[in-house]
């Protein structure tokens, strides 16, 4: 029963209108190689406008739906070439065996990045099918509810002119959010003036939301370690709940140094992979908050294990990106105090595309996400609403 009979990977490529973004809307690791007078594509490196969708069909007629946002075209190729042939004929209930097969058969090149993202999308589809097979929401298979609803934080507030930043922050307060995250727009190539501008962004949002709202800031790996050390002297006065991804994901010692030397908690992990990657981050005391993304880290099979590991270290798990697969993980863990929430938005950098591809993604109400008990699996399906705005590569 429930043997896998087909694995389809599709790329949903957005062809509709794209909203323009501010030049310094968020730092990123490519800033220092895209400096002014050398090349001017500083912010275009950040955007992505397509998404990977994986559908797994079983012998008893179930269809499990998984997805991933990172590098969808190469991920599709990995699924088609390596993963699908390896798992057709397996029972979805042998999900650990399937995961190990995908991991070990691609180990020479697949451990991190594209390979693990493709594995994640397939694994999520398997868990969706498991829930449908058991006629239960996925969180019930992971331990059930640990809270009645999930507190969530509004995650957007990209760097922009201060008046419109203030307006966006006010909108989230009015919608009932008790926590929100902004993006810092300046880094090592912007000198002391940029440092001051980063602090101005934080102070602007704080002046709108007051002291009873948690505020976080994200750098998306856009700083060097040396710049981060200087910047943290200023940030430590701003009472942030955390500062996210100050340096590149590979600089684990840099994270550990910042965590040890700054008052502001340091978060990271959205660009780290598997139980082994997080073991290293946790053992090295590199982060105060674990932020894996289920659709990169190895799917629900890995996310569940990493959650348990982080619990043993008493480091909270607050997954990257919202999306329902992350919510099911957070619902089933006491070590997950809050979740990230990407608001519905006109298509801009790509983070928001999942709203256009799927029906049933939970919407925040008054700063909380609720998961329905009577929706089996992950509770989402493919939407027809915006199909004319996508090119679908099968
Ligand atoms: Mg982030």
pLDDT digits (tens, 9 = 90+) for 321-335: 989 999 999 999 999
- In sequence order, the 6+-apart residues with CB closer than 8 A to the CB of 144 are 332
Distance (Å) from CA 9 to ligand 1 centroid: 26
391 falls within a domain: no
Are residues 94 and 144 located together in one domain of the fold? Answer: no
What average pLDDT does range 12-40 have in this prediction? Answer: 82
Helix (H) or strand (E) holding 244: strand 242-244
Distance (Å) from CA 262 to ligand 1 centroid: 19
Which of the residue ranges 36-45, 104-113, 253-262 would you say has the lowest mean pLDDT?
A: 36-45
- Please report which confidence band the pLDDT of residue 41 belongs to, taking 50, 70 and 90 as the band edges: low
- Please report which confidence band the pLDDT of residue 24 belongs to, taking 50, 70 and 90 as the band edges: confident
Which residue, 89, 113, 135, sits at the end of a domain? 135
Which of the residue ranges 19-33, 61-75, 167-181, 263-277 would you say has the lowest mean pLDDT?
A: 19-33
Distance (Å) from CA 40 to ligand 1 centroid: 23
* Phi then psi dihedrals of residue 9, to 5 deg: -115, 125
Q: Is it the case that residue 43 has pLDDT exceeding 80?
A: no
3-state secondary structure string across 141-181: HCCCCCCCCEEEEEECCCCCCHHHHHHHHHHHHHCCCCEEE
What average pLDDT does range 17-32 have in this prediction? Answer: 87
Q: Is it the case that residue 42 has pLDDT exceeding 70?
A: no
Distance (Å) from CA 343 to ligand 1 centroid: 14
Are residues 41 and 22 located together in one domain of the fold? Answer: yes
Average per-residue pLDDT in the chain? 96
Which of the residue ranges 16-25, 37-46, 88-97 would you say has the lowest mean pLDDT?
A: 37-46
Contact 290, 316 (CB under 8 A): yes
Distance (Å) from CA 267 to ligand 1 centroid: 9
Are residues 23 and 153 located together in one domain of the fold? Answer: no
Q: What is the pLDDT of residues 190-218, one digit of tens each?
A: 999 999 999 999 999 999 999 999 999 99
Residue 215: CA count within 13 A, CB half-sphere:
26
- In sequence order, the 6+-apart residues with CB closer than 8 A to the CB of 337 are 151, 316, 318
What average pLDDT does range 22-28 have in this prediction? Answer: 86
271 falls within a domain: yes
Are residues 168 and 186 located together in one domain of the fold? Answer: yes
Which residue, 85, 105, 135, sits at the end of a domain? 135
390 falls within a domain: no
Q: Is it the case that residue 38 has pLDDT exceeding 80?
A: no
What pLDDT does residue 39 have? 55
Which stretches of 15-130 are assigned E, i.e. beta strand? 50-58, 63-68
Handedness of CA 307, 313, 316, 320 (dihedral sign): negative
Q: What is the pLDDT of residues 118-133, one digit of tens each?
A: 999 999 999 999 999 9
Distance (Å) from CA 320 to ligand 1 centroid: 6
CA 113 to chain centre: 14
Are residues 173 and 236 located together in one domain of the fold? Answer: yes
> d(Cα 9, Cα 120) in Å, to the nearest integer?
12
Q: Is it the case that residue 40 has pLDDT exceeding 60?
A: no
- Please report which confidence band the pLDDT of residue 165 belongs to, taking 50, 70 and 90 as the band edges: very high
* Domain count of the fold of the chain: 2
Name the token pair of 130: 């498991």
392 falls within a domain: no
158 falls within a domain: yes
- Please report which confidence band the pLDDT of residue 30 belongs to, taking 50, 70 and 90 as the band edges: confident
Name the token pair of 342: 């990407």
Neighbour-count burial of 344, counting CB atoms closer than 10 A to its CB (0-12 exposed, 13-18 middle, 19+ buried): exposed
Are residues 298 and 176 located together in one domain of the fold? Answer: yes
Are residues 119 and 147 located together in one domain of the fold? Answer: no
302 falls within a domain: yes
Q: What is the pLDDT of residues 83-96, one digit of tens each?
A: 999 999 999 999 99
Where b means 16+ CB within 10 Å and e means fewer, 304-314 reads bbbbebbbebe
Are residues 90 and 183 located together in one domain of the fold? Answer: no
CATH number of residue 234's parent domain: 3.20.20.120
389 falls within a domain: no
**Residue 85, domain extent:** 4-135
> d(Cα 60, Cα 308) in Å, to the nearest integer?
32
Are residues 50 and 164 located together in one domain of the fold? Answer: no
What pLDDT does residue 120 have? 98
Distance (Å) from CA 182 to ligand 1 centroid: 10
Q: What is the pLDDT of residues 211-247, one digit of tens each?
A: 999 999 999 999 999 999 999 999 999 999 999 999 9
> d(Cα 312, Cα 332) in Å, to the nearest integer?
15
> d(Cα 356, Cα 349) in Å, to the nearest integer?
13
Q: Is it the case that residue 173 has pLDDT exceeding 70?
A: yes
> d(Cα 105, Cα 99) in Å, to the nearest integer?
10
What average pLDDT does range 367-383 have in this prediction? Answer: 97
Q: Is it the case that residue 336 has pLDDT exceeding 90?
A: yes
82 torsion bin: left (phi>0), alpha (psi -120 to 50), beta (else): alpha
Q: Is it the case that residue 158 has pLDDT exceeding 70?
A: yes
Name the token pair of 150: 């999930």
Are residues 347 and 226 located together in one domain of the fold? Answer: yes
Distance (Å) from CA 220 to ligand 1 centroid: 6
Which residue, 85, 103, 135, sits at the end of a domain? 135
393 falls within a domain: no
Distance (Å) from CA 18 to ligand 1 centroid: 21
Could you identify the residue written with the tokens 């959010």?
Answer: 177
Name the token pair of 214: 């948690």
- Tell me the longest C-alpha to C-alpha distance in the chain: 63
Q: Which residues are catalytic, by number? A: 320
Distance (Å) from CA 137 to ligand 1 centroid: 27
CATH number of residue 32's parent domain: 3.30.390.10
Size of the chain in residues: 394
Are residues 350 and 212 located together in one domain of the fold? Answer: yes
Are residues 26 and 167 located together in one domain of the fold? Answer: no
pTM for the model stands at 0.97
3-state secondary structure of 214: strand
What pLDDT does residue 49 have? 93
Structure letter (DSSP) for residue 15: -
């Amino acid at each position: 029963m429930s043997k896998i009979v087909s694995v389809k990977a599709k790329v949903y490529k957005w062809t509709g209108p794209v909203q323009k973004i501010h030049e310094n809307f968020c730092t990123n690791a490519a800033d220092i190689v895209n400096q002014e007078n050398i090349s001017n594509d500083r912010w275009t490196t950040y955007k992505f406008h397509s998404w990977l969708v994986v559908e797994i069909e079983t012998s008893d007629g179930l269809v499990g739906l998984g997805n991933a946002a990172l590098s969808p075209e190469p991920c599709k190729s990995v699924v088609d070439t390596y993963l699908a042939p390896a798992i057709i004929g397996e029972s979805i209930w042998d999900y650990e065996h399937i995961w190990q097969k995908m991991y070990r058969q691609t180990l020479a090149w697949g451990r991190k990045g594209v390979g693990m993202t493709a594995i994640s999308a397939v694994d999520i589809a398997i868990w969706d099918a498991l829930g449908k097979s058991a006629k239960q929401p996925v969180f019930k298979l992971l331990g059930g509810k640990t809270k009645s609803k999930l507190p969530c934080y509004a995650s957007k507030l990209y760097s922009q002119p201060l008046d419109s930043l203030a307006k966006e922050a006010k909108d989230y307060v009015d919608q009932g959010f008790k926590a929100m995250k902004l993006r810092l727009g300046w880094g090592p190539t912007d000198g002391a003036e940029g440092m001051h501008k980063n602090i101005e962004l934080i102070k602007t949002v704080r002046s709108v939301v007051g002291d009873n709202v948690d505020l976080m800031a994200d750098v998306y790996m856009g700083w060097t370690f040396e710049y981060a050390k200087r910047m943290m002297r200023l940030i430590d006065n701003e009472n942030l709940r955390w500062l996210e991804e100050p340096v590149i994901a590979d600089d684990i010692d840099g994270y550990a140094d910042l965590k040890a030397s700054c008052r502001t908690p340091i978060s990271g992990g959205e660009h780290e992979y598997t139980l082994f990657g997080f073991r290293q981050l946790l053992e090295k005391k590199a982060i105060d908050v674990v932020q894996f993304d289920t659709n990169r880290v190895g799917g629900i099979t890995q996310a569940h294990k990493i959650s348990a590991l982080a619990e043993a270290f008493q480091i909270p798990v607050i997954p990257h990106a919202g999306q329902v697969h992350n919510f099911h993980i957070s619902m089933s863990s006491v070590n997950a105090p809050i979740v990230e929430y990407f608001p519905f938005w006109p298509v801009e950098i790509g983070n928001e595309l999942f709203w256009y591809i799927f029906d049933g993604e939970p919407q925040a109400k008054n700063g909380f996400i609720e998961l329905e008990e009577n929706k089996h699996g992950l509770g989402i399906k493919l939407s027809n609403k915006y199909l004319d705005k996508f090119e679908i590569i099968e």
